[in-house]
Structure 1
Amino acid sequence: MKKIIYTITSLVLVSSIMLSSCTKNFTEINTDPNGTPTALPQQLLAPALVGALTNTMLRNRSFNNELMQVTVDPSDAEGRVFRYDYRPGVSDALYNGLYSELTNFKDIYKVASQELNYNKSYMGISLICQSWIYSILTDTYGDIPYFQSNLAKDSAIYEPKFDTQKDIYADIFSRLDTANVLLSAGTGILPSSDPVYGGNVTNWRKFGNSLYLRLLMRVSAKAEMAEFCKAKIKQIVETFPIMASNDESAILRWTGVGPYSSPLLSVREQDFRQPGLASFFIDHLSDWNDPRIDIPTYGVGGINRWGIAPYSGSYQGIPSGYAPGENPVKKCYFYSNTSSSSLMTEPLTGLMMNYAELKFILAEAALKGWISGSAETFYNDGALASITLWLPSWPKKITDFLTEADIQWMDSLTFDEKMERIHLQKYYALFLVDLQQWFEYRRTGHPVLPKGAGLKNNGVMPARMVYPVYVQSTNPTNYKIAVAGQGPDQIYTQVWWQKP
Structure 2
Amino acid sequence: MRTFKQYFTAGILGAVLLAGCTKDFKKVNTNPNTLPETKPELLMESAIYAVRQANQSREHRLVHEMMQVHVTVNNSDEIHRYIIRPSESDFMWNNWYTQLTNFRDAYESAAKLSLLSSQAYNFSYMAMARIMEAWVASMITDTYGDVPFSEANRGRTDNIFMPKFDAQKSIYDSLFVRLEEANTLLALNNAIPTALMQRDPLFGGDIAKWRKFGNSLYLRLLLRTSDRQESGAVQKIKDMLQTTPTKYPIMTSVDESAVIRFTTVTPFVSSFNTWRDYDFNGENGYTEFFINTLNSWTDPRLAKWANTVSGGVYAGIPSGYTPGTQQERQSVYLAALKNEPLLGNMLNFAEVQFMLAEAALKGFITGNPKTYYENGVNAAITFWGLTVPAGHLAKPAVAWDDAATTAQKLEKIITQKYYTFFFTDFQSWFEYRRTGYPTLPMGPGVQNGGQMPSRLVYPVSVQSLNKTNYDAAVANMGGDNMQVKVWWDIN
Common fold by TM > 0.5 = yes
Residue 60 of structure 1 aligns with an amino acid whose one-letter code is E
Task: Decide whether the 8 Å contact of 1:292 with 1:391 is kept in 2.
Answer: no
1:42-81 mapped onto 2 (5 Å cutoff): 42-77=41-76, 80-81=78-79
- 2:440 corresponds to which residue? 449
| Cα separation, 2, equivalents of 1:374 and 1:285 | 25
| Cα separation, 2, equivalents of 1:405 and 1:246 | 25
Shifted more, 56-65 versus 323-332: the winner is 323-332
| Displacement of 1:261 | 0.9
Residue 321 of structure 2 aligns with an amino acid whose one-letter code is Y
Residue 169 of structure 1 aligns with an amino acid whose one-letter code is Y
- 1:361 corresponds to which residue? 355
| Displacement of 1:55 | 1.5
| Displacement of 1:92 | 0.6
- 2:416 corresponds to which residue? 425
1:134-166 CA-to-partner distances (Å, cap 9, x unmatched) read 000000000000001111111111111100001
1:206 aligns with 2:212: yes
1:478 aligns with 2:469: yes
1:157-168 mapped onto 2 (5 Å cutoff): 157-168=160-171
1:359-388 CA-to-partner distances (Å, cap 9, x unmatched) read 000000000111111100000000000000
Taking only the aligned residue pairs, the percentage that are identical comes to: 44
Partner of 1:163, secondary structure, is coil
- 1:19 corresponds to which residue? none
1:396 aligns with 2:394: no
- 1:175 corresponds to which residue? 178
Task: Decide whether the 8 Å contact of 2:264 with 2:273 is kept in 1.
Answer: no
| Cα separation, 2, equivalents of 1:486 and 1:287 | 41
| Cα separation, 2, equivalents of 1:433 and 1:459 | 25
Shifted more, 50-59 versus 404-413: the winner is 404-413
TM-score, normalising length from structure 1? Answer: 0.87
- 1:386 corresponds to which residue? 380
Shifted more, 362-371 versus 265-274: the winner is 265-274
**1:88 paired residue among 81, 86, 89:** 86
1:253-268 mapped onto 2 (5 Å cutoff): 253-268=261-276
| Cα separation, 1, equivalents of 2:108 and 2:316 | 49
| Displacement of 1:38 | 2.0
Shifted more, 317-326 versus 361-370: the winner is 317-326
1:287-436 mapped onto 2 (5 Å cutoff): 287-294=296-303, 305-306=304-305, 308-312=306-310, 313-336=312-335, 342-392=336-386, 394=387, 396-397=389-390, 400-436=391-427
- 2:23 corresponds to which residue? none
**1:188 paired residue among 191, 210, 228:** 191
Task: Decide whether the 8 Å contact of 2:349 with 2:379 is kept in 1.
Answer: yes
| Cα separation, 1, equivalents of 2:266 and 2:385 | 26
| Displacement of 1:395 | 5.2
Please tell me the root mean square deviation across aligned C-alpha atoms, in Å: 1.5
Task: Decide whether the 8 Å contact of 1:289 with 1:405 is kept in 2.
Answer: no
What runs of 5+ residues in structure 2 fail to find an aligned partner?
A: 1-32
Larger gyration radius, structure 1 or structure 2:
1
- 1:282 corresponds to which residue? 291
**1:111 paired residue among 109, 112, 117:** 109
How many residues in Structure 1 have an aligned counterpart in Structure 2?
Answer: 445
| Displacement of 1:36 | 6.0
**1:237 paired residue among 237, 241, 246:** 241
1:6-40 CA-to-partner distances (Å, cap 9, x unmatched) read xxxxxxxxxxxxxxxxxxxxxxxxxxxx9863210
What runs of 5+ residues in structure 1 fail to find an aligned partner?
A: 1-33, 295-304, 337-341
| Cα separation, 2, equivalents of 1:287 and 1:222 | 35
Task: Decide whether the 8 Å contact of 2:434 with 2:490 is kept in 1.
Answer: no
- 1:246 corresponds to which residue? 254
| Displacement of 1:477 | 1.0
1:322-364 CA-to-partner distances (Å, cap 9, x unmatched) read 111322221111133xxxxx11010111111011011000000
| Displacement of 1:481 | 0.8
